[in-house]
A and B are shown apart, each in its own frame.
Chain A
Amino acid sequence: MRQRSLIAITAALSAGALTLTACGSRDSDDKGSDSGGTTVTIGIDAPLTGDLSALGLGIKNSVDLAAKTANKQKYVDGITFKIEALDDQAQPSSGQQNATKLVADKSVLGVVGPLNSSVAESMQKVFDDAKLVEVSPANTNPALTQGTDWATSKKRVYKSYFRTATTDAIQGPFAAQYLINDAKKKKVFVIDDKKTYGAGLAGTFTEEFKKLGGTVAGTEHINPDSKDFSAIATKVKTSGADVVYYGGEYPQAGPLSKQIKAAGAKIPVVGGDGIYSADFIKLAGATAAGDLATSVGAPVEQLPSAKEFVANYKTEGYKEAYEAYGGYSYDSAWAIIEAVKKVVDDNDGKLPDDARAKVTAAMQNVSFDGVTGKVSFDEFGDATNKQLTVYAVENGAWKPVKSGTYSG
């Protein structure tokens, strides 16, 4: 009898142990299968090749991560997300062709991108006519959301356009305030690449710099296809400027910085989020120390919400870094996922026939805690979370030196 009891106890213990073992292995075994049912495509438009591909590939990977995460979590019941990434090579004409292609694919219910404001200009109408929502993680030109007369009279032009990044209406003045008040610079040489983003940013910077009592020692425009800026570098040197502000992107900003220093002007080159890339430092070389950039958002290491994103990005093993817009790209994609979820939930768990229009409408009220903080949009489609950070090149890397929050 006692022997039987002992065997019974042993059996019970064995069963219990096996159950516990099973519980313990469940998490690691569950790799998250697809939700099944309907497939929804999230389009991506970004420069996946060319000079700006570092930023573009960071955008693509981050959107991919968001789609995978939603599928693993079965976040929208009955919906499986996939991505379709198209390369615009930072060219407006390519962007417009991509927009047309994405519109033609009926499974596409939202698009993340583009990187460049000039490309966005060429895509907005195509998407708006199709009522296909577009969320840019990187466009900063104010006119895209607030109209061309944004400085005097804000007017939303496209209801299908949203962005998670803040605008140059804040970024330019923020840089000017930092240079005047913190860096004690008084005389700036302003250079831009004549593009929508670069010229716009240089404009908002210059206006504020002058308001604060600074003077402009000279202005120049560069050809983005060129890498020889020696003539401009000489002008900078002879102007007596104590700082250079560049409106443009890192493929040109890097060589420009290097050549300005080589010309004998040992003054910092400052730019916006377009130069905030590790590639800028590579191109500019050792003399980039002390150069500055503003970029959208707070430093990733200060955002508890970004920790999981950074860890998951690493786990997925993407070859390219998420770069300046990774968190914003993830949040842009997740905003689309949230909008799809709202539409599906409101339609008895199915996508309605006019899903695109409904997703666009739902986007206006999307609100969630994202990688970059609270994600929601104002009446113009702009992000309500408006943080900026000034970074400086120190020991071959960008280091945050000051952050600000726009709360107006």
Chain B
Amino acid sequence: MSGVGPVEPGEGTHAWETPESVHAPAHASVHAPAHADAPGALGADASTPAARLLGGLVRRHAAHRRAASAVLATAVLLAGGGYLYATRPHDTEQAAPAPPFPSQVVDVSYLGEVAVPPGARPRTFAFDIVFGVESGPPVTVTRLAQPYLGLSLTSDPRAPFRTKAGSARKVVITMRVTECGKVPKNVGLPFVDVTLRNARAIQVHSFILGTRYAHDLSEALQVACSNDSGNHQNT
């Protein structure tokens, strides 16, 4: 009544309800500006090719309205379903696997004792170890330590150092006895504590380097403290 048509065509108000109405530009133009996307907007000028095509379709539509509507609805439904299926979220896209914990991809193994450089402080000895990363994001060693009081440890390269997956690097760990009375002379399964960091976590993990390392460490400690009667402070 106001001259503004319904937002969506309702029953009996469809712009192309009859062939005649398609050819009523004045009527159509009243509704067109407010609803440029509405079907009625296309019926603006019957002289254009688009309007002629539309007119043909509308005439056919009018002739087979019920069948065509059913088929169209089915097609839209199926196409919609197909679209939804094709664009469904995939598990792999949804949840990328979290990176592994660093301790699960790092391998530390013992190579052997190495000579300390000339001029090193007394009661100092050194070992080669290999630090490797099997997979996942790069792993940074932020700290290397050994557990015994009376013994200090430094490394070359000095922590922090970063290693990529699929690569390994040799690390020299140098130890110095600071107090013979506080180091075990015959350790069974000594380890080094390594603080590891990657994109997943920061972990302190003990690497038990095996019987050869235990033997070499015990021997080095005995040699370092051989002339020591006990609680000697090496300064």
Contact = CB atoms under 8 A, between A and B. Distances in A.
Interface of A: 2-3, 6-7, 9-10, 13-14, 16-17, 20-21, 24, 170, 173-174, 176-177, 180-182, 207-208, 211-213, 298, 302-304, 373, 386, 402-408
A272 B229 CA distance: 37
A407 B85 contact: no
B49 interface: no
B104 A303 contact: yes
B8 to A, nearest CB: 24
A298 B208 CA distance: 14
Interface of B: 60, 64, 67-68, 71-72, 74-75, 78-79, 81-82, 85-86, 97-98, 100-101, 103-104, 107-110, 147-148, 184, 186-191, 203-214
Contacts of A174: 189, 206, 208
B85 A207 contact: no
* Chief secondary structure at chain A's binding surface: helix
A181 B101 CA distance: 24
A14 B71 CA distance: 11
Contacts of A302: 101, 103-104
A407 B104 contact: no
Given A13-B78, A208-B188, A404 B205 contact: yes
A14 B91 CA distance: 26
B222 to A, nearest CB: 13
Contacts of A298: 101, 103-104
B184 A211 contact: yes
B148 A181 contact: yes
Contacts of B82: 13, 16-17, 20
Nearest to B189: A173
A3 B68 contact: yes
A170 B147 contact: no
A404 B68 contact: no
List 3 A-B pairs, minimum CB-CB distance, nearest first.
A408-B210, A404-B206, A181-B147
A173 B203 CA distance: 21
B103 A173 contact: no
A207 B75 contact: no
15 contacts: A9-B75, A10-B71, A17-B85, A20-B82, A173-B189, A174-B189, A208-B188, A386-B208, A402-B204, A403-B203, A405-B108, A405-B206, A407-B209, A407-B210, A408-B110
Given A208-B188, A211-B184, A407-B107, A402 B206 contact: yes
Given A170-B189, A174-B189, A406-B210, A6 B68 contact: yes
A402 to B, nearest CB: 7
B132 to A, nearest CB: 10
B52 to A, nearest CB: 15
Nearest to A184: B149
A304 B98 contact: yes
Contacts, number: 113
A10 B189 contact: no
Given A3-B60, A9-B75, A211-B186, A405 B85 contact: no
A385 B126 CA distance: 27
Given A211-B186, A213-B184, A405-B205, A21 B85 contact: yes
A383 to B, nearest CB: 14
Contacts of A407: 107-110, 207-210
Contact of A13 (B67, B79, B208, B213): B79
A170 B103 contact: no
B203 to A, nearest CB: 8
A181 B188 CA distance: 14
B102 to A, nearest CB: 10
A315 B234 CA distance: 61
Contact of A173 (B85, B188, B209): B188
Nearest to B130: A407
A59 to B, nearest CB: 24
A153 to B, nearest CB: 13
A7 B68 CA distance: 9
Nearest to A390: B206
A21 B84 CA distance: 11
Contacts of B74: 10, 14
B168 to A, nearest CB: 13
Given A181-B148, A212-B184, 7 more contacts: A6-B72, A9-B75, A170-B208, A177-B190, A208-B188, A302-B103, A408-B110
B81 to A, nearest CB: 5
A388 to B, nearest CB: 8
Which one of B60, B189, B191, B211 has the highest number of Cβ atoms from chain A below 10 Å of its Cβ? B189
A281 to B, nearest CB: 25
B175 to A, nearest CB: 15
Contacts of A373: 104
A386 B186 CA distance: 22
A17 B79 CA distance: 8
A408 B212 contact: yes
Nearest to A374: B134
Nearest to A6: B71
A364 B205 CA distance: 29
A180 to B, nearest CB: 8
B86 A20 contact: yes
B186 to A, nearest CB: 5
Contacts of B108: 405, 407
Nearest to A405: B207
A406 B205 CA distance: 11
Nearest to B106: A405
Contacts of A180: 147
A207 B188 CA distance: 8
